[in-house]
Amino acid sequence: MAAGKPVVILGVFVADTAYRADRQPRIGETILGNSFKLGPGGKGSNQAVAAGKLGADITFLTRLGVDAFADMAKQTWNDAGVKSAVIDTPDSYTGAAYIFVEEGTGNNAIIVSPGAAMLISPQDIEAHAGLIRSAGVFVTQLEQPIDAALKALEIARGAGVTTILNPAPAASLPDRIYTLCDYVTPNETEAEGLTGIKVSSIDDARRAADALLAKGVGAVIVTLGEKGALLHTKNRSEHVGAVNAGPVVETTGAGDAFNGGLAAALAKGVEPLQAVRFACAVAGISVTRPGTAPSMPSLNEVEALLARA
């Protein structure tokens, strides 16, 4: 597959500090952990790394501090073939995240402090409007301020760029953001947060997706963990099963792997249902490996898995 049209992702880089332990400590309690790892993270950055490793022509737009974590960010993107449009912010800091991983299950709990990325403004977006307009696919999430995401989606939509909003972490959104989105990609929890509909089954996901279509979204893709994903539009509703690549080690980066894979596939002109299947395969490989950005697979690995599946 050729690189296809350019992908531009707006989002946050944070340094992930990952602690593995048998359980979380209670307030006032200290427990011994089983391991610690420092690595690159942030939803937008992880998605950019996923797309870069899949061979997409990808540029990541963000703010960083001027510090060791910023150096880690730039090295991570360089290694994954990601171009960056970074606004250096010496009076703040590069973001960091606390990630607790439950040893027995691989489940996680996370605190994110985005630092300089919280200062991304609509003015920053205007300054990079040409970059956004040049994209075939534009992606953003909700770790940076919503007004910046909204401005970027407006610019992308105005230029006919395919727009993807990954509404993570869940937040209350202005109604007009939905009409700017060709795709919205919530997980079960985020779908419930946006619609008030609890998602425990594929039928629930369809009801939540209908509520999002009613708000003006073009297509909804609800990611369902080990149940795969649901592609839901006005004319079709297709459940795509998870693509099993082996035993689950850690689920932390799965949503980012999915969104990066989806963007890469759509930029290459893959039709939506096949793009969702491709994205499920990217996520399926990522959960068999520890970490977020380091768990993202290559295009060869994804194509081999899909050929077997």
pLDDT in tens, 277-299: 999 999 999 999 988 888 999 99
Return the CATH number of the domain spanning residue range 7-308.
3.40.1190.20
Tens of pLDDT along 99-146?
Answer: 899 999 988 888 889 899 999 999 999 999 999 999 999 999 999 999
Question: In the prediction, which pLDDT does 142 show?
Answer: 95
Q: What is the mean pLDDT of residues 212-229?
A: 97
Candidates 266, 256, 10, 265; CA nearest to 140 is 10
Average pLDDT over every residue of 254-271: 98
Can you give the pLDDT at residue 2?
A: 61
What average pLDDT does the structure give for the chain?
96
Which of 290, 258, 288 is closest to 275 using CA atoms?
A: 258
Under DSSP, is residue 32 helix (H, G, I), strand (E, B) or coil? Answer: coil
Choice among 16, 182, 204, 256 that is catalytic? 256
Does the pLDDT of residue 4 top 60, yes or no?
yes
Task: Report the percentage of the chain scoring pLDDT > 70.
Answer: 99
pTM of the model: 0.93
Neighbours of 261 (CB within 10 A): 32
Mean pLDDT of 171-176: 93
Give the pLDDT band (50/70/90) at residue 252.
confident
Among candidate residues 141, 135, 140, the one with its CA nearest the CA of residue 158: 135
Question: Percentage of the chain with pLDDT > 90?
Answer: 89
Q: Is 91 a catalytic residue?
A: no
Is 297 in contact with 285 (CB distance < 8 Å)? yes
pLDDT at 1 over 80: no
